[in-house]
């Protein structure tokens, strides 16, 4: 199990997401951003828009995705 924060994934806060894979933490970040948007948290709006753009245009976002996978792979197990 590894941990990445919202900030490490491009967001504005230090909420920790834990997962066995990079996809686990990326999906947790997506859910966190959705919840923040629904709650009216404007500090997460830019990150939410960026995430929505990545889901809509995955081929364009491969660099970001690969970067997150690489960052996750370098993290120690927690």
DSSP string, 25-50: HHHHHHHHHHHHHHTT-GGGHHHHHH
In the chain, where the domains are located: 2-74
Interatomic CA distance for residues 67 and 62, integer angstroms: 8
Residue 59: pLDDT band (50, 70, 90) is confident
- Give the pLDDT of residue 14: 98
Residue 27: pLDDT band (50, 70, 90) is very high
């Amino acid at each position: 199990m590894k941990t990445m924060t919202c900030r490490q994934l491009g967001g504005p806060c230090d909420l920790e997401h834990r997962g066995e894979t990079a996809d686990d933490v990326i999906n947790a970040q997506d859910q966190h951003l959705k919840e923040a948007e629904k709650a009216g948290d404007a500090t997460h709006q830019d990150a939410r828009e960026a995430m929505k753009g990545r889901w809509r245009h995955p081929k364009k976002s491969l660099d970001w995705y690969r970067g997150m996978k690489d960052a996750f792979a370098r993290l120690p197990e927690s």
